[in-house]
Structure 1
Amino acid sequence: MKKISSALSVLALTAASFSTQAESINYYVIAKQATPFQIAGDNNQQSGIVTDIVKAVFEDSSYQINYHTYPFNRMISQLEAGGEPNWITYGSPNWGKVQSENLSEIPIYTVKHVLVSTRESNLQFHSIQDMHKKIIVLLHGFDYPQLLPYFEKGEIEELRVKDYQAAFRIIHKFPEFAAFVEMESRVKYNLAQLNQEQSDFRIQPFRSVIPDYPIYLAFDPQMNPNTQDFINRRLKTLKANGQIDDIIQRYF
């Protein structure tokens, strides 16, 4: 009986030790709209630029990644309510709210926005005045303060759509009046996913309106400081050895 009791005590101590060492990381993924940064799937099939970087950060470590996938607005609501402990997603100082409050020490990617029209369109973009009395198509849930004054004054019409397929359909339907504003990387990735030829579209820089900016990993403001230090150290190593650049190249 004493031997059994001793064995159980050893198992309990082992389990407690493992529990202490295997700290959970709660990684939040945006469903559908965040490709190629986050491509939602089952736990073993999660992918995307940010997701692959997060996986690389915790590879061969004692941390366990738990995935939480939500539509964008619901994810933000969850995080604003506190989220699960030690949560991670991605963000930028430009985005505000929980996606800007506590960021990694180094950026992981530089975002560039473009204006997308069809090849048949005669739209030549030089300044925002070229969109006067025209339609800018945007995805639901993504807001751009730089465009808001033009929408509010009625100088440019805002049209929201649920996905990339709808955006490309609209600009094909109204080639002389409508253009889609979005991140260049996401446009090119989703054109490929929808079997659309990039040569059928006119993709013009939009940085005169929305300047290029970096994105970072965004952390729980209450994250364990040791965990945050670990992530920042690993990110610097991954950047220095070229692994972050290799991950980005997989998607283009």
Structure 2
Amino acid sequence: MDSIAHSLQRAYSMKQQRYLRLAAWAQRFACLPLLLAFSMVSSAEPASGQKVFRFNVSPNGYPPYMIVDQEAPTGIMWDVVSLISARIGVRIVPQQIPRKRVDQMLLDGYIDGTSRAREWVQEPDKFLFTNPVVDIQEVFFTPKHAGKTYHSPEDLFSKTLVTHLGYMYPELQPYFESGDIKRFDVSRDRDMFNFVLHGDRFDAAVVDLLVGRWILKNEGLQDLFTVSSNNISSYGFRVMFRKENRSFVDKFNAELERIRKNGELEAILANYR
């Protein structure tokens, strides 16, 4: 009987040890996601303590100002912000945030900056803006087969204008609200031209001049559209920050002025014209 009891006790002891080992492994694996998360967060901060600037490039970009369909972001705004960030000792990290979530995520601190014209923001006083990096010049693009070119908003009365979903057009908004011009929203810049080119309901598209020329060139459509002779609107394209980043914005503006004067900014712009 003693031998049987001893055997049972030994078996129980072995079982208990095996259970404790399994529990220890389970505890280790339970901590693994937390350890991985900590590792990823830690790796986002350079070992040198260099400050990181999380810059929104958006999922689709905004070529040629922001191009994201390559291994690394490029484009006018990315090149300028990268150059200036390096000069003032800040490491830039791209973040792809959907347009409708950008403002709140910026306010909440998930990102540190995004490209934006002040006139496109519903509550601009909540943010801080750099000096303009480049001017956005909105124009009308009209298909050549229409036989006419629209040069002013009045030319488009009773017409339908293709616009970008979620974009604000301060100069055109009164005409949209009065019904003088109908607005039709499209989610991607390049699709705006396809709608105008192939849709019987649409008369023109309002697009930034540089963006439009870039798309038409890359899509092989440059001979199929005419462009209005005058800008419908012109806005400074800036970097938008939270208000507490005044020191960073001041340094950014100083370096922006320096590269404007020494020709570096113009050289970047020339790469995308």
Q: TM-score range by the shorter chain?
A: 0.7 to 0.9
- Counterpart residue number, 1:189: 214
> For the residues of structure 1 that align with 2:145 and 2:69, how far apart are their CA atoms?
36
- Counterpart residue number, 1:8: none
Q: Which amino acid aligns with 1:221?
A: K
Structure 1 residue 250 displacement after superposition: 0.7
Structure 1 or 2: more helix by fraction: 2
Is there any run of 5+ residues in structure 2 with no aligned partner, and where? 1-44
For 2:163, which of 90, 114, 138 is the aligned residue? 138
> For the residues of structure 2 that align with 1:16 and 1:95, how far apart are their CA atoms?
34
For 1:242, which of 263, 267, 271 is the aligned residue? 263
For 1:117, which of 142, 156, 159 is the aligned residue? 142
- Counterpart residue number, 1:11: none
Larger Rg: 2
- Counterpart residue number, 2:238: 216
Deviations along 1:149-170, one digit per CA (max 9) or x if unpaired, are 3223322221111223321222
Please give the root-mean-square deviation of Cα atoms over the aligned residues, in Å.
Answer: 2.6
Structure 1 residue 60 displacement after superposition: 5.5
- Counterpart residue number, 2:129: 103
> For the residues of structure 2 that align with 1:232 and 1:62, how far apart are their CA atoms?
14
- Counterpart residue number, 1:59: 86
Structure 1 residue 188 displacement after superposition: 0.6
- Counterpart residue number, 1:46: 73
Q: Which amino acid aligns with 1:67?
A: P
Q: Is the 8 A contact 2:106 2:241 kept in 1?
A: no
Deviations along 1:184-242, one digit per CA (max 9) or x if unpaired, are 0110111122222x1221111453xx3322222222211162x3333222212111111
TM-score by length of 2: 0.74
For 1:199, which of 199, 223, 229 is the aligned residue? 223
Structure 1 residue 47 displacement after superposition: 0.6
> For the residues of structure 2 that align with 1:205 and 1:124, how far apart are their CA atoms?
9
Closer/same/farther in 2, CA of residues 224 and 127 from structure 1, 3 Å limit: closer
Q: Give the match's secondary structure for 2:65.
A: coil
Structure 1 residue 125 displacement after superposition: 2.4
- Counterpart residue number, 1:71: 98
Closer/same/farther in 2, CA of residues 129 and 230 from structure 1, 3 Å limit: closer
Closer/same/farther in 2, CA of residues 99 and 250 from structure 1, 3 Å limit: farther
Closer/same/farther in 2, CA of residues 218 and 177 from structure 1, 3 Å limit: closer
Q: Greater CA deviation, 173-182 or 64-73?
A: 173-182
Is there any run of 5+ residues in structure 1 with no aligned partner, and where? 1-14
